[in-house]
Structure 1
Amino acid sequence: MKSPDERRRSDRAHAAILEAASQTVQELGYGKTTIEGIAARAGVGKQTIYRWWSSKGAVVIDALLAGQTETDWPDSGDLGTDLRLVLRATTLEFADERTSATLRALMLDMQDDPALSESVMTRMLGPQLEATKRRLRSAQQAGQVDAAVDLDLAVEVIFGPIYHRWILRTHPFDEAYADALTNLAIRALGPAVAGAVGR
């Protein structure tokens, strides 16, 4: 069992590694970030990092998530208003080149690292998708989304176009795009259109 002093040293080292990873990614980008560089910046040995994390991607994910609060949607009572806020914020994040580059590199590493892929899906994307479904379920109860709509599919309708544009770099992101996507999603998920499709 660790002594209180050992636990404090361990906590300080853990926090220093996360801070070093965050700063290094911001300054150098994900591709040029290394375990060795993170360790040097944090003032620890590589083995200290590998004691807690299996890869660079695992450290970076924890650094990205450090300090974040539980993901949830605004709920003004009007789905269109709330969706517009979320999509504007999402497209703004994807338009940021440094953030975008980090996410792209993580997605590439995920293809060959099942553990990293699971971590990204369950810890980064999973909470966002569940928050979206909670808000859509509330909108269903309010009669703003058709009761028969599959919520997993509805999430793809909302965010799928953003990922398509982001991955293929077909067009830039701006507020006009977020607003147009909001209007399209509201029409697609609304009770009149959804009901007509089902008949």
Structure 2
Amino acid sequence: MTPRRPERRSEESARAIVQAALELCREVGYAKLSIEGIANRAGVGKNTIYRWWPSKSAVLLDGLLSAVSVQGPFPDTGDVVADFKTQMIAASSILASPDTGPHYAALIGEAQQDPALGSALWDRLVGHLVAAATERIRSAQQQGQIRPELDPEFVVELLYGPTYYRWLIRRHLPDPDHIRMVVDTAFAGIAPSGPAVG
């Protein structure tokens, strides 16, 4: 699934369509969201939407990306434990926000049936976040704060997996105390047994 098609002629209409998709998804849920409903809310024809997006999930993904930053450096104060707590607590606000959390959850769910959406979600959002985290992990490994033999992507799964499990399966929003406990528990296993170097 590619980003919004570049031949769009009206940024104003494109913004109205994306905003309509976000509003309707909040109001009726993803299952009842439709291209027809989005078009009616945005005041455009369905054909306009289909010229620029292949599906309702593509419109919603653009809406999510308009509200979520995937750029910016990962915190690096020299204390990798503190940095992951800071970043993960900040990132959890995306999951907790009614403006982003339900849309993200809906897209994750839909991606289980739509491989193109799954690829787009990874390429345009999740992959950027994972890359920033793995770079921070490699830096910590070089500094002797994380065991050097561990695959950085495994460490990402170990740290972030509990939050996604709690949010998607248990339906509990992650809170700062829970995230701090996850990070402390994970680092008890991934930190070197000897004193840190550097």
Smaller-chain TM-score range? 0.7 to 0.9
Aligned partners of 2:8 and 2:51 also within 8 Å: no
Query: 2:19 maps to what in 1?
Result: 19
Q: Taking structure 2 as the reference length, what is the TM-score of the superposition?
A: 0.82
Unaligned runs of 5+ residues in structure 1 are 1-6, 194-199
Residue identity (%): 40
| 1:104-119 matches, cutoff 5 A | 104-119=105-120
Unaligned runs of 5+ residues in structure 2 are 1-6
User: 3-state DSSP class of the match of 1:70?
Assistant: coil
Query: 1:145 maps to what in 2?
Result: 146
CA deviations over 1:42-82 (Å, ceiling 9, x no partner): 22111111111111111100111126351531111211111
1:125 paired with 2:126, answer: yes
Q: CA deviation at 1:171?
A: 5.4
Please tell me the root mean square deviation across aligned C-alpha atoms, in Å: 2.4
Distance 1:170 1:29 in 2: 16
Q: Taking structure 1 as the reference length, what is the TM-score of the superposition?
A: 0.82
Residue 49 to residue 71, structure 1, CA distance change in 2 (3 Å): farther
Query: 1:4 maps to what in 2?
Result: none
Query: 1:185 maps to what in 2?
Result: 186
| 1:23-172 matches, cutoff 5 A | 23-66=23-66, 68=69, 70-96=71-97, 99-169=100-170
User: 3-state DSSP class of the match of 1:192?
Assistant: coil
Give the counterpart letter for 2:139 in structure 1: S
More helix by share: 1
Aligned partners of 1:71 and 1:127 also within 8 Å: no
Aligned partners of 2:85 and 2:183 also within 8 Å: yes
Aligned partners of 1:13 and 1:42 also within 8 Å: yes
Q: Number of matched residues?
A: 187
User: 3-state DSSP class of the match of 2:193?
Assistant: helix
Distance 1:125 1:12 in 2: 27
| Structure with max Cα Rg | 1
